[in-house]
A and B are shown apart, each in its own frame.
Chain A
Amino acid sequence: MVGLVVVSHSERAAEGIAEVAAEMGGDTRIEPVGGDGRGGIGTVPDDIEAALAAADDGDGVVVLVDLGSAVMNAEVAIEMGDTEAVVADAPVLEGAVNAAVAATSPSATLDSVREQAEAAREIDKL
């Protein structure tokens, strides 16, 4: 099935978002990744690449990202790695929850999961 990677500048934020999404995601593989590797805020392409490989079981990976350089580093990691993966243009938490649910569908594809993640942009809260 399609896997998910949650990329945040904060490792703890990535883990927390993955935790929330996993509540809804059944068997979906969700790999959180974040932090600058030195205990600080940031993202590292090599770490994201490793998370992509860990989340992939052959059907590809949808990547949820927070801000700025997380987007760039996710793109770099996808280019460097061997995993088929796409970045969803979506809010990171809501997108992760949507994607986790979408990935459990028997007919889920990389595109359908990404589309569901991106549908989270339309969520009204009030």
Chain B
Amino acid sequence: MSADGDAAVAAVERIAERIERERDHLTELDSAIGDADHGGNMARGWASAAETVRELDDPDPATVAKTTGRTLMSKVGGASGPLFGGSLVFASAELEGGLTPESAVGFAETYLAKVQDRGDASVGDGTMVDALVPLVHTFKKSIEVDDVPPVVALAKAVDAAERGAAFTVPIRAKRGRASYLGWRSVGHQDPGATSTLFILEALLETARDRLDVSVAPDLDATSPTVPDEGAAEE
């Protein structure tokens, strides 16, 4: 198995573990403003995705991403299936030439564009887009403008996503199921933005394991206001 394909499978497994650990937490967030199924749905989908990609014969990152997306689409349900899974399938084409910093940026941008298009949501609507936009923009700028190593760019992007997810707390949801609650959605963190953050944190952990850790930055040094990683109650 290629090193990148192997890393991609490891990333999916790590994401599945993280989502499983956060199952109750995500369900709790979703029970406040949704239908209390986000934790269970995502855990079921990612567990199935991890199982499926483990069985792939010598996969490349694009195949792992596409297979994961297809599994999520059929197993997660609700709007999260097409949003997480469908966007992943669509964006996986960007990785077909291999995993490079440039193709990773293309992947991230395509994923974001698909989520925004499909969900018809903008920044400030109290959805996963609030985590994704700062995430993708920060990643792109870090790679293309600041020219930092990919794992550093990813760490900065995760920081940005964390602030984005936190941003969904004080605002009123305008898209998704939480929008039915109107002002009562204020004060709750969006489950989709939160699970997006968890996925990226697991991806970052995998990248740190697989890439040269000596270039990975101390997260706290770049963003002193952000609480400890994994501070979510377990």
Chain A interface SS verdict (over half): helix
- Residues of A within 8 Å of B222, CB to CB, are none
The reply to whether B74 and A45 form a contact with Cβ atoms under 8 Å apart is: yes
Residues of B191-219 whose CB lies within 8 A of A: none
Q: Does B21 contact A (CB under 8 A)?
A: no
The reply to whether B118 and A72 form a contact with Cβ atoms under 8 Å apart is: yes
The reply to whether B81 and A73 form a contact with Cβ atoms under 8 Å apart is: yes
Residues of A39-78 whose CB lies within 8 A of B: 42, 44-46, 68-69, 72-73, 75-76
The reply to whether B79 and A72 form a contact with Cβ atoms under 8 Å apart is: yes
Q: Does A80 contact B (CB under 8 A)?
A: yes
- Residues of B within 8 Å of A79, CB to CB, are 86, 90
The reply to whether B79 and A69 form a contact with Cβ atoms under 8 Å apart is: yes
Q: Select A36's contact among B77, B82, B85, B86, beta carbons within 8 Å.
A: B77
- Residues of A within 8 Å of B128, CB to CB, are none
Complex alpha-carbon distance, A125 and B85, angstroms: 39
Given contacts A72-B118, A75-B118, contact A37 B74 (CB under 8 A): yes
Complex alpha-carbon distance, A79 and B77, angstroms: 18
The reply to whether B79 and A76 form a contact with Cβ atoms under 8 Å apart is: no
Number of interface residues of A (CB under 8 A): 14
- Residues of B within 8 Å of A46, CB to CB, are 73-74
The reply to whether B82 and A72 form a contact with Cβ atoms under 8 Å apart is: yes
Q: Does B89 contact A (CB under 8 A)?
A: yes
Q: Which residue on B lies nearest to A73, using beta carbons?
A: B82
Tell me, rounded to whole Å, the shortest Cβ–Cβ distance linking B218 to chain A: 39
The reply to whether B89 and A80 form a contact with Cβ atoms under 8 Å apart is: yes
The reply to whether A42 and B78 form a contact with Cβ atoms under 8 Å apart is: yes
Complex alpha-carbon distance, A46 and B79, angstroms: 15
The reply to whether A42 and B86 form a contact with Cβ atoms under 8 Å apart is: no
Complex alpha-carbon distance, A36 and B75, angstroms: 9
Given contacts A75-B118, A79-B90, A80-B89, contact A69 B82 (CB under 8 A): yes
- Residues of B within 8 Å of A69, CB to CB, are 77-79, 81-82
Q: Does B133 contact A (CB under 8 A)?
A: no
Complex alpha-carbon distance, A28 and B135, angstroms: 47
Q: Does B9 contact A (CB under 8 A)?
A: no
Q: Which residue on B lies nearest to A76, using beta carbons?
A: B86
Tell me, rounded to whole Å, the shortest Cβ–Cβ distance linking B36 to chain A: 14
- Residues of B within 8 Å of A75, CB to CB, are 82, 86, 118
Query: A interface vs B, CB < 8 Å?
Result: 36-37, 42, 44-46, 68-69, 72-73, 75-76, 79-80
6 further contact pairs, Cβ within 8 A, besides A45-B73, A45-B74: A37-B74, A44-B81, A46-B73, A72-B79, A72-B82, A76-B82
Query: B interface vs A, CB < 8 Å?
Result: 73-74, 77-79, 81-83, 85-86, 89-90, 118-119, 177
Q: List 12 A-B contacts (CB under 8 A).
A: A37-B74, A44-B77, A45-B73, A46-B73, A68-B177, A69-B82, A72-B82, A75-B82, A75-B86, A75-B118, A76-B82, A79-B90
The 3 closest A-B pairs by CB, nearest first: A72-B82, A76-B86, A69-B79
